[in-house]
């Protein structure tokens, strides 16, 4: 990727540190900017003036994804037609810091390391684009639903346990204290789920993807939304990249060999854990059913295969089937012999 300058950014809630570096690793400028649109636009203007250039395309901005905190900078930068690459923190630390990481770590150093990473691995940088409005709303609502579900669990489980083990006076007191909160959370959860259904139903692309994905046995609405979000409606992972997505989801056993030492292939912990969790739930829901994967599980158990090994194979098969129906644009039918 061609560039004249790399701008490394270490983002935090209130401000961000930056390091401007040339293709020859020369540091031109370092500093700190308030994480606010007005301050960011002023920073961009001064930056172009400082460099004596008119085209922001000469600069590639490189930063780690820190959730909602990156939105001001990414929106401002993209509005000026700037080029932006968001990289994984683990990738930067592994490729620059090595297995043991860094002894010293500061915001200023992190910005410099991100700039250095951008220069050294410029051929590996991928340009980031803002999500479509409906995709971003889907992601936000899906996360909100998860938080509400977790909050309900935190309140409901102790009440149920108290009824089973505490005296009636204690359990009644606990139940009375949380009744209003639980009712409110259930109401909010119902509202969010209604919004999710309406959003998908009213978006032609999302609705078609949702119908295709949920046609696969073991894949429900939650898993379908997780897949759509993770693949960014199959733009981040195309329908032909099922195997890549399986690795990303941590369901592919990877070899680890060195010389004469050969260890058993295992799945990596560095994966999309949310995706892996919903796939596990989908696979286990098929155990004991007459679906082809349910029958597959029973057959493998009879052959003496370990439970978790079979579940992992089922998770992989679910991914292959999801990508197959999207690639072929047909509702899943086991008689079509997908995967």
What's the sign of the alpha-carbon dihedral 234, 236, 238, 241?
Answer: negative
Q: Can you tell me the distance from the alpha carbon of 134 to that of 111, in angstroms, rounded to the nearest whole number? A: 32
Q: Along the 339 residues of the chain, how does pLDDT read in single tens digits? A: 788 999 999 999 999 999 999 999 999 999 999 999 999 999 999 999 999 888 899 999 999 988 889 999 999 999 999 999 998 877 787 777 666 666 678 999 999 999 999 999 999 898 887 778 899 999 999 999 999 999 999 999 999 999 999 999 999 999 999 999 999 999 999 999 999 999 999 999 999 999 999 999 999 999 999 999 999 999 989 999 999 999 999 888 765 555 555 556 566 666 788 999 999 999 999 999 999 999 999 999 999 999 999 999 999 999 999 999 999 999 998 766 554
Question: pTM of this prediction?
Answer: 0.77
Q: Can you tell me the distance from the alpha carbon of 187 to that of 338, in angstroms, rounded to the nearest whole number? A: 40
Percent composition of the chain: helix, strand, coil (DSSP 3-state, to 5): 60, 15, 25
Q: Can you tell me the distance from the alpha carbon of 61 to that of 41, in angstroms, rounded to the nearest whole number? A: 14
- Give SS3 for 262: strand
């Amino acid at each position: 990727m061609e560039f004249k300058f790399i701008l490394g950014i270490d983002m935090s809630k209130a401000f961000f540190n930056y390091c401007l570096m040339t293709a020859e690793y020369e540091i031109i400028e370092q500093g700190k900017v308030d994480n606010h649109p007005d301050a960011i636009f002023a920073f961009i203007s001064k930056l172009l003036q400082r460099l004596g250039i008119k085209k922001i395309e000469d600069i590639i901005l490189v930063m780690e994804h820190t959730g909602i905190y990156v939105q001001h900078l990414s929106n401002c930068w993209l509005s000026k037609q700037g080029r932006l690459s968001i990289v994984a923190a683990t990738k930067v630390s592994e490729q620059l810091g090595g297995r043991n990481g860094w002894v010293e770590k500061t915001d200023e150093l992190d910005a410099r390391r991100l700039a250095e990473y951008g220069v050294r691995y410029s051929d590996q940088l991928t340009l980031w684009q803002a999500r479509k409005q409906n995709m971003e709303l889907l992601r936000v609502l899906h996360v909100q639903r998860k938080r509400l579900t977790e909050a309900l669990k935190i309140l409901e489980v102790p009440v149920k346990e108290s009824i089973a083990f505490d005296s009636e006076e204690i359990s009644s007191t606990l139940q009375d204290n949380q009744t209003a909160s639980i009712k409110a959370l259930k109401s909010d959860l119902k509202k969010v789920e209604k919004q999710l259904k309406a959003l998908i139903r009213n978006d032609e692309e999302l609705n078609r993807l949702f119908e295709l994905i949920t046609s696969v046995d073991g894949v429900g609405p939650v898993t379908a939304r997780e897949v759509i979000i993770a693949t960014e409606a199959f733009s981040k992972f195309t329908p032909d990249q099922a195997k890549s997505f399986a690795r990303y989801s941590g369901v592919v056993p990877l070899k680890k060999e060195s010389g004469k030492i050969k260890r058993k292939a295992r799945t990596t912990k560095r994966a999309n854990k949310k995706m892996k969790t919903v796939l596990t739930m989908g696979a286990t829901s098929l155990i004991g059913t007459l679906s082809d994967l349910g029958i597959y599980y029973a057959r493998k158990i009879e052959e003496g295969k370990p439970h978790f090994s079979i579940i992992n194979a089922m998770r992989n098969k679910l991914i292959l089937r999801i990508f197959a129906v999207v690639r072929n644009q047909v509702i899943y039918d086991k008689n079509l012999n997908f995967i």
